[in-house]
Copies of this chain bind each other. A is one copy, B any other.
Amino acid sequence: MQLYGYWRSSATYRVRIALSLKNISYQSIEINLIEKGGEQHSDYFHALNPTELVPVLVDGGLRINQSMVILDYLDEHYPQPLLVPITGEQRYLIRSLAQDIAVDIHPLNNLRVQQFLTHQMKVKECDKQKWLKYWIMEGFESLDEKLKPLAGKFCVGADVTLVDVCLAPQVYNALRVGVDMTKYPTLNRVYQTLMQHPAFIAAQPENQTGAPTN
Contact = CB atoms under 8 A, between A and B. Distances in A.
A92 B50 contact: no
Q: Which of the four size classes fits the interface of chain A?
A: 35 or more
Contact of A96 (B64, B96, B113): B64
Contacts of A99: 66, 68-69
A30 interface: no
Interface stretch (A101-109, A189-197, A203-211): A101-109
Interface string A101-131: 0111001100001001000110100010011
Contact of A52 (B53, B61, B102, B142): B142
B134 A116 contact: yes
A123 to B, nearest CB: 7
A95 interface: yes
Given A50-B146, A120-B134, A121-B131, A95 B107 contact: no
